[in-house]
Amino acid sequence: MQSRTEILHLGLGSFHRAHQAVYTARARAIDGGDWGIAGVAPHSAGVVDALRAQGMRYQVVQLSPEGMELFVPAVHTDAFVADSEPERLLAGLAHPDTRVVTLTVTEAGYTVDPVTGTLDRSGDVAADLAGGHPRTVIGRLARGLQQRAHTGAPVTVLSCDNLASNGTLTERLVREFLTALPGTEGHETLAFLDAAVTFPNSMVDRIVPRTTDALRDLVSAELGYRDEIPVPAEPFSMWVMEDRFAAGRPAWDRAGAIMSAQVERYEAVKLRLLNGSHSLIAYLGGLDGRESIPAAWQQDFVQDAVLSLIHDDYLPTLELPDGFDSAAYVTALTQRWGNTALGDRVARVGSDGSAKLAQRVPEAALQHLRAGRMPHQLALLVAGWICAVTDVPGSDGAFDRGRVCAEMVEPARARIAAAVRGAGSPQAHARAVLGAGLFPVELAEHEDFVGRVAALVETIVRSGVRAAAADALDTARSAPAIHPGGDHR
């Protein structure tokens, strides 16, 4: 007998299917209940069609040097594409049976202005505000909650994306959207949010690479039949969330999730120690021609830079959760990055850098700069991103960033190209990128930090990424403090 759909999930990608779906399956096995999940893909029908063809079943393939383990979550009751069936999505958001709405739509999906931190009301958001079928995540949530307000049925919206205070942010963006609607159109819904909707903060953690044909062949050989959408994943998995659910939830805590009032601390640890370091591995490794994260991590210069980033630039900026063992966490990170069986791709981790670095660099960097310290590895991270995904001018045409970096997807590429037009040197190029409105003004106009990034970009272009990493490490060990606050011209 099919379970009733009580969770609507936006973003039917690999991470959701290897993380929230697995926790939900295990919670149901322990505690019972329906808690079926309707998975909504934003644009592409590929996963939706495969799920339907396979009876809503797929394999989660846990990979480690010790071997392979297979698990079938079997919790999805439905799957469809939001672009193709927008009314169905709004109806699902409004339906009283939907008790939890979860999201994995990536950092870029929240349409946040990186400078102001508010809802970016241009482009698709402007179109959503004007009416018609909404195309943005925030527009869809707001319009669905508008319809739900007529029923009064409580619901929880649970962001599972790598964003600081992701629930708080999601609620604020939805409220900004509703407030921006013409006249008093959104006022009733704002009152409904006050009375019946919660937006808990959460932190999610599991490395989930892209599915490959090689994995499909491996799983097919093991099972004796073809699974078109197996999901590779590492053994490690973590989920921390605030226990604020307006209409109940699965027994996720009994399935290993952590209910905590200190989610922001866990999120900061993860965004910086794992995600920020992961980005540095990707950009240094990609510029060094390494295709996989384990191959990049095996390079001594990468390990030295990343461990300095963690201990010198990140850990001093963190307020750790109560009882959190940072040394054990860092040791586990080094093992996860070295998981050769998983073979996570450098190009995947390095993609969407402008959105990711906006979450992983500014706050920590500004803490150091305000105290008169230069965060050299954070500057190297930004310089590596610039060289990996933009056309930096070299001595003879554009700097050759290499095939691995060329595969990285950068959503702000057009914006960056417009900003750097006319920049004739690596340092001028770097300054133009930092002035493109992708980082907060305080950091983008901090002359000491901008100058350090620009100098490292020039070193990468002139002498290679290994020379830049050595420069950052050597200078971090010997450089004097800068003047607190720097020059904010």
**Assigned domain for 486 exists:** no
**Assigned domain for 313 exists:** yes
Residues 358 and 215 in one domain: no
What is the structure's pLDDT at 480? Answer: 58
Start-to-end Cα distance in the chain: 66
pLDDT in tens, the chain (489 residues): 467 999 999 999 999 999 999 999 999 999 988 899 999 999 999 999 999 999 999 999 999 999 999 999 999 999 999 999 999 999 999 999 999 999 999 988 999 998 888 999 999 999 999 998 999 999 999 999 999 999 999 999 999 999 989 999 999 999 999 999 988 888 899 999 999 999 999 999 999 999 999 999 999 999 999 999 999 999 999 999 999 999 999 999 999 999 999 999 999 999 999 999 999 999 999 999 999 999 999 999 999 999 999 999 999 999 999 999 999 999 999 999 999 999 899 999 999 999 999 999 999 999 999 999 999 999 999 999 999 999 999 877 789 999 999 999 999 999 999 999 999 999 999 999 999 999 999 999 999 999 999 999 999 999 999 999 999 999 998 865 554 444 333
Residues 217 and 145 in one domain: yes
- 352: domain CATH number? 1.10.1040.10
Domain-ending residue, one of 239, 259, 279: 259
Residues 298 and 446 in one domain: yes
How far is 448 from 429, CA to CA, in rounded Å?
A: 16
Residues 252 and 274 in one domain: no
For residue 38, CA distances in Å to 43, 60, 99, 450, 487 come to 15, 18, 12, 46, 52
Domain-ending residue, one of 259, 287, 302: 259
**Assigned domain for 400 exists:** yes
Residues 211 and 301 in one domain: no
Residues 235 and 336 in one domain: no
Diameter of the chain measured on Cα atoms: 68
**Assigned domain for 408 exists:** yes
Residues 224 and 267 in one domain: no
Query: Is the CA virtual torsion 389, 391, 395, 401 positive or negative?
Result: positive
Name the residue range of residue 227's domain: 5-259
Residues 217 and 346 in one domain: no
- Number of domains making up the chain: 2
**Assigned domain for 32 exists:** yes
205 contacts 274 by C-beta, under 8 angstroms: yes
CA 170 to chain centre: 14
DSSP for 275-329, please give it: IIHHHHHHHHHHHTT--BHHHHHTSHHHHHHHHHIIIIIIGGG--PPTT--HHHH
Both tokens of 199, joined, read 């937006």
- 77: domain CATH number? 3.40.50.720
Q: At what angle do helices 86-94 and 137-149 cross, to 10 degrees?
A: 50
Residues 321 and 467 in one domain: yes
How far is 223 from 217, CA to CA, in rounded Å?
A: 10
How many Cβ atoms from other residues are within 10 Å of residue 465's Cβ?
A: 29
Residues 470 and 447 in one domain: yes
**Assigned domain for 488 exists:** no
Residues 244 and 328 in one domain: no
Residues 204 and 122 in one domain: yes
Domain-ending residue, one of 209, 236, 259: 259
Q: At what angle do helices 447-463 and 362-370 cross, to 10 degrees?
A: 120
**Assigned domain for 483 exists:** no
**Assigned domain for 412 exists:** yes
108 contacts 411 by C-beta, under 8 angstroms: yes
Both tokens of 300, joined, read 């001594």
